[in-house]
Structure 1
Amino acid sequence: MHWSDVIAQRLAERGNDHIIATGITPSGEFHIGHLREILTGDMIARAARRAGLNAELVFVVDNADPLRKVYPFLDSSYEEFIGHQLGAIPAPNEDGEPDWNRYEREGWSYGDHFLEPFLMALKQIGVEPRLIPNLTSYREGKFADAAKKACDDPDAIREIIERVSGRELPADWFPWQPIDSKGSLDGLTITGYEYPLVMWTDQYGAKGQSDITKGEGKLPWRLDWPAKWGFNNITCEPFGKDHGAAGGSFATGVEIAAFFGHEPPQSLVYEWISLRGKGAMSSSTGNTVGPIEALRLVPPEILRLLIANSKPNKAIEFDTGMGLVNLADEYERLSSRDFAEELSNDTLSRRQRVQIEDAQAALRLSMVSAGEQAEATSVSFRHLALLAQIKPDDDGIWSSLIESGAISEPTSALSDRLMRMRAWTGSKHFPEEMRIEILSEPDETSLSQLDEEQRKVIHHIATELDAAEWTAEGITLAFKNAATHAEAPMRSMYRACYAMFMGSERGPRLAPILANCVREEVCGLAKSCAAQLS
């Protein structure tokens, strides 16, 4: 059983109607690490619907959370907003300064600024959840019931948190964070409580009162989370391993939810996505690859497969170089498989059948539209990367693929993939080991570094290429014939070829590359190199 089907089965035991929640604080640029949470939720919702359940995906926007610090992408003027709620402060402009004009004109907040591009990426990737802005929930009084129970009996809440988490709360801790005289949640002292008002004194000496029914403040995170489960009717929620640790916020949330009078959701703990060689992704440090950036490079199905094909408890190392190539090729292999035929084999062991069913489910969940059939393009990511570098126009690529018999005509899926491929090959993420540049004229420096045996081969290469059949096989044969005539080993022949055609000592397989280049240009370059060494 695929992991999403396992969770769907557990949900079925709890009833027929389900709300699967995901939630992220919009404190900075969203990155593909955030995709793990929301795609995990989306895949659970799809599996639940496939199992016959009524399931809805919601995205809780934690814009009632405060700005923690002035991040590197913000102007120092944001110092005044530390502690202020993300949905109640202006968004940064392109210089990182508060955009007061748009905030006052449209109410465009800091949280909106970072949420909008993420929602655009989600739409491309087939995820359109119902949004639940947390700040709106506070202001509409949806937290009021939980807040009253907590404020009426703060000792009970304190006991749960201290016992389960194993840490001691400050003596002046109170289960409600009012907004102070300048709009911050930080630095207040609670001086009294009489429902629905929490009285306070702030760090500036101002005194005031906070109405919990109007959301003039918020619950601390360990109370905020279980409170949301109740009034949003959440029955399932995936979350990161930090929340799922022993004594973490889920463990305390389970008991606090019972105190509030409702059940905790079915949980699923997932591991982080890190960038290869750079560690865990972080919006605040800039160690990210954004979803929009990633979708410029690869089709959405490939990013969905990244999540669908990994068990939630397995860490994912996202590699924008060869890792993407391997992932895309895996998608092509899955797309070309006939799972129905494979599963009809009665001799399969239980383990083999589970592996096939898991692969089938991963491919199904990779589709942007649920129920959509995967379309194999019959062109590997590697080969398309090669063509995108040596063919400047798309028509040349289609002609090459049609002549080779790989396709009969370009499909919309293949056209979309080529568009993204050109963006990838032109980006910093494209792996150097796959980068191709065929010379237009001899590279004197590279040729001068060849020994006598390697130079001798070049004359024979020029002659053999001139008469070769212009296919990868024909060019390979020409190389072998040249080495034979020169009485040189193949290593000398290839060393000479890379110097002639790429100005390097080594590189990717040359024959398939040259076969897709203009014959006259390749043969002309070979002859020019031979003439230069005469």
Structure 2
Amino acid sequence: MDRTTPEADWVSRFADEVIAEAERRAPGKPIVCASGLSPSGPIHLGNLREVMTPHLVADEIRRRGHACEHLLSWDDYDRFRKVPAGIDPSWSEHLGKPLTSVPAPPGSPHRNWAEHFKAPMQEALKALGVEYRGISQTEQYTTGAYRDRILFAMRERTRIDAVLDAYRTKDKGPEEAAARPQSGKAGQQRRPDAPLDAAELAAAEGSGAAGEDDGSAGQAGYYPYKPYCRACERDLTTVTAYDDETTDLSYTCACGHAETFPLRDVHHGKLVWKVDWPMRWEYEGVIFEPSGVDHSSPGSSYVVGGRLVREVFGGEQPIGPMYAFVGITGMAKMSSSKGGVPTPADALEIMEAPVLRWLYARRRPNQSFKIAFDQEIHRLYDEWDALARKIDEGRAQPGDLAAHGRAVRTAERELPATARRLPYRMLASVVDITTGHDEQTLRILAELDPDNPVTSLEEARPRLDCATHWVATRMPDDQRTRVRAEPDSELLGALDEEQRESLALLLEGLDKHWSLDGLTSLVYGVPKVRAGLAPDAKPTPELKAAQRGFFALLYRLLVGRETGPRLPTLLLAVGADRVRKLLGG
């Protein structure tokens, strides 16, 4: 039993609640945590919160020695609702079909639309250390796993319709968010009267569920089951009759097809979402499941589902928090339908798995946060490395220590880590300057700390690979470093005496200070010495101005502009001989 993680974070508090609730509901049985994803398009980093929240809680429960299963329901039997941006508009002919009956996008190696979008998410979850049991809703429905509950729901359709009808005329708003069955202590829920902003309402976009109707009553009455047409495969169907005794169901389709079949024997449709979700809670015995904020308004699937699972299916609603919006620095809110949405697989190309896990572990589910794809990733890694140093020195706060522990290991295993924690921004600068040339990169990394040199690029991986990918795909073109091929003779000829003396002092100290720390002291120290101060003197406003001027001069002589990567890193990357040439030495 692993109790090394301090009980000082939201994950531990939710684990306490879930264990207590499981003992009340089903003592001695494995605890079930759940999440669901619809592979209707790219499964983005906002959707990942739907998985990471129960994963972290289930993982903590397993650390404590309890049997706990994380179910991940792939809602691949949902209807194909919209052709995403960038896909041939002709795919609109498949609207209304189950996602597993829609062809994969052009060029895909996968057998259908759902598998195409599930595959990268499955690989990302494996890399993130997320242990789960995946459930295909296509398989559940088409194999008849839910047959008895479907027949039961059809028999109880009048009661179901009465519950749904109580919400159909209500304006959607946040008033009933307080009805969620949890203490609120761990999640720190919002006040019921607090407004939901547009960013938060986007948190669960792409789930495939929020936009589905409840099977509203037609001329033949209300039916909670929606058949897929067995001629055109779409759900453009209307149930016209149903016999409780024989289970014969009759329907017509917009395509012109009509038929009658025994529902007990034919599995070619599904319960409407607002009935499907509570049915599954009871079927699986779910204790904990989070949901997006869009599920907490009157008439929403979560609020209505709470009544249906109790009053119709005889089960209990899971406890669990609302989860808030996850954004991307430099981008508007995420939307699967608009295309170009960063996915977990995209994030794992530019950051290590523990860092991505940490972003979800350190914030309570109802707290919004952003994931850095732009240059903010340098700041993120600085913060991550600073936390690691605090832990190494025994100075980390309990909550930070807990979040870090959940990021770097699960109940089952340690996640891969980079042996040498070299600064991400420095690695990006080196890769940028060397254009990814391994031999040059190793030379520079070996010279960072001559007393403890990097002897192989493997010591810097996988972080080096992440930084390399970021430079190749995310670094702005106007920030790329292009070292001058020849000295700027015109600028060198126009230097004043102060500038020439400063450059001479720098060149004189290169050999003695040729390491990252040494060059840092040198470039900051030259203006101090020129001002008659000791190299370690505290900077004054005047001295800071002199340093900025000196740095700008160096950048202009080395890269032709007044800014660039950190000078110590730049000098190491350029190399001593070339530095002397470009600085007129």
Q: Bin the TM-score by the shorter chain.
A: 0.7 to 0.9
> Which residue, out of 549, 552, 560, partners 1:503?
560
Query: Bigger shift: 108-117 or 432-441?
Result: 432-441
Q: Distance in 1 between matches of 2:278 and 2:65?
A: 27
Offset at residue 412 of structure 1 (A): 5.3
- Secondary structure of the residue aligned to 2:71 is strand
Alignment of 1:2 with 2:9, yes or no, is yes
Contact 1:18 1:56 in 2 (8 A): yes
Offset at residue 524 of structure 1 (A): 0.4
- Secondary structure of the residue aligned to 2:583 is helix
**Counterpart in the other structure of 1:349:** none
**Counterpart in the other structure of 1:476:** 524
The 1:477/1:178 distance shift into structure 2, 3 A limit, reads same
Query: Bigger shift: 24-33 or 368-377?
Result: 368-377
**Counterpart in the other structure of 1:89:** 102
Q: Distance in 1 between matches of 2:325 and 2:430?
A: 34
The 1:170/1:455 distance shift into structure 2, 3 A limit, reads farther
1:389-426, Cα deviation, whole Å (9 max, x unpaired): 34543421441234164x67669563211122111122
Alignment of 1:140 with 2:143, yes or no, is yes
Q: Distance in 2 between matches of 1:165 and 1:356?
A: 48
Q: Distance in 2 between matches of 1:30 and 1:413?
A: 32
Contact 2:249 2:262 in 1 (8 A): yes
Amino acid at match of 1:401: L
> Which residue, out of 163, 169, 178, partners 2:227?
178
- Secondary structure of the residue aligned to 2:250 is strand
Offset at residue 270 of structure 1 (A): 0.5
Amino acid at match of 2:306: V
Gaps of at least 5 residues in structure 1 are 343-354, 529-534
- Secondary structure of the residue aligned to 1:132 is strand
Offset at residue 158 of structure 1 (A): 1.6
Amino acid at match of 1:12: I
**Counterpart in the other structure of 1:350:** none
**Counterpart in the other structure of 1:347:** none
Amino acid at match of 2:432: Q
The 1:431/1:245 distance shift into structure 2, 3 A limit, reads farther
**Counterpart in the other structure of 2:190:** none
Matches of residues 521-532 of structure 1 in structure 2 within 5 Å? Answer: 521-527=578-584
**Counterpart in the other structure of 1:532:** none
Query: Bigger shift: 381-390 or 162-171?
Result: 162-171
- Secondary structure of the residue aligned to 1:267 is coil
**Counterpart in the other structure of 1:30:** 43
Alignment of 1:379 with 2:428, yes or no, is no
Matches of residues 327-346 of structure 1 in structure 2 within 5 Å? Answer: 327-338=380-391, 341=394
Alignment of 1:395 with 2:435, yes or no, is no
The 1:73/1:490 distance shift into structure 2, 3 A limit, reads closer
1:339-380, Cα deviation, whole Å (9 max, x unpaired): 8955xxxxxxxxxxxx82211111111125436387774433
Amino acid at match of 1:474: L
> Which residue, out of 283, 286, 296, partners 2:336?
283
> Which residue, out of 455, 459, 463, partners 2:504?
463
Q: Distance in 2 between matches of 1:321 and 1:477?
A: 32
Contact 1:238 1:270 in 2 (8 A): yes
Q: Distance in 2 between matches of 1:133 and 1:491?
A: 60
- Secondary structure of the residue aligned to 1:200 is strand
Q: Distance in 1 between matches of 2:74 and 2:570?
A: 49
Q: Distance in 2 between matches of 1:113 and 1:326?
A: 34
Contact 1:458 1:526 in 2 (8 A): no
Structure 2 length as normaliser, TM-score? 0.77
**Counterpart in the other structure of 1:207:** 258
**Counterpart in the other structure of 2:238:** 189
Alignment of 1:222 with 2:274, yes or no, is yes
- Secondary structure of the residue aligned to 1:426 is helix
Contact 1:40 1:238 in 2 (8 A): yes
Amino acid at match of 1:396: R
The 1:509/1:502 distance shift into structure 2, 3 A limit, reads same
**Counterpart in the other structure of 1:308:** 361
Structure 1 length as normaliser, TM-score? 0.84
Q: Distance in 1 between matches of 2:394 and 2:529?
A: 45
> Which residue, out of 283, 286, 300, partners 1:231?
283
Offset at residue 80 of structure 1 (A): 1.6
Contact 2:50 2:290 in 1 (8 A): yes
Query: Bigger shift: 189-198 or 302-311?
Result: 189-198
Matches of residues 309-328 of structure 1 in structure 2 within 5 Å? Answer: 309-328=362-381
1:53-79, Cα deviation, whole Å (9 max, x unpaired): 211112111011011122223223312
1:83-131, Cα deviation, whole Å (9 max, x unpaired): 000012221222xxxx7xx78xxxx221011111111111111124211
Aligned length: 499
**C-alpha root-mean-square deviation of aligned residues, in Å?**
3.1
**Counterpart in the other structure of 2:404:** 363
**Counterpart in the other structure of 2:475:** 430
The 1:253/1:184 distance shift into structure 2, 3 A limit, reads same
Q: Distance in 2 between matches of 1:65 and 1:74?
A: 19
Amino acid at match of 2:272: P
Gaps of at least 5 residues in structure 2 are 1-7, 171-213, 533-542
Quick one: percent identity of the two aligned structures? Answer: 27
- Secondary structure of the residue aligned to 1:438 is coil
Q: Distance in 2 between matches of 1:413 and 1:164?
A: 59
> Which residue, out of 464, 482, 486, partners 1:418?
464
Query: Bigger shift: 178-187 or 280-289?
Result: 178-187
The 1:48/1:339 distance shift into structure 2, 3 A limit, reads farther
Contact 1:25 1:65 in 2 (8 A): yes
Q: Distance in 2 between matches of 1:231 and 1:92?
A: 33
- Secondary structure of the residue aligned to 1:201 is strand
Amino acid at match of 2:258: K
Name which structure has the greater RCO, CA cutoff 8 Å, separation 6+: 2
Q: Distance in 1 between matches of 2:65 and 2:579?
A: 60
Amino acid at match of 1:387: V
